[in-house]
Amino acid sequence: MHFSKSAITNTDDLPLVLTVSDVSKILGIGKNTAYDFIRSGAIKSVRVGRQIRVPKSAFLEFLS
């Protein structure tokens, strides 16, 4: 899914699971910074094989 900052006006528009790339685009930060947030535990994530996914609920918790 492709996101831009203006594309997300309602959190209901977000998918149930976000990629690190999605998170970085929505927040307007670099992917390395998004990975730093995940590594520090600020954004909770789930590893699926070698991929990292961020549940929508965890992302919304981070925003609040």
Instruction: Note whether residue 3 is domain-resident.
Output: no
Instruction: Note whether residue 58 is domain-resident.
Output: yes
What span, in angstroms and rounded, lies between the C-alpha atoms of 32 and 15?
22
Check which CATH number belongs to the domain holding 45 and give it. Answer: 3.90.105
What's the mean per-residue pLDDT of the chain?
Answer: 90
User: How much is the average pLDDT of 18-23?
Assistant: 96
Instruction: Note whether residue 8 is domain-resident.
Output: no
What span, in angstroms and rounded, lies between the C-alpha atoms of 14 and 40?
23
| Domain interval for residue 37 | 15-63
pLDDT at position 7 is: 58
Instruction: Note whether residue 5 is domain-resident.
Output: no
* pLDDT tens profile 30-59: 999 999 999 999 999 999 999 999 999 999
Q: How far is CA 10 from the centre of its chain?
A: 15
pTM of the model: 0.84
Total of domains in the chain: 1
Instruction: Tell which wins on pLDDT, 47 or 64.
Output: 47
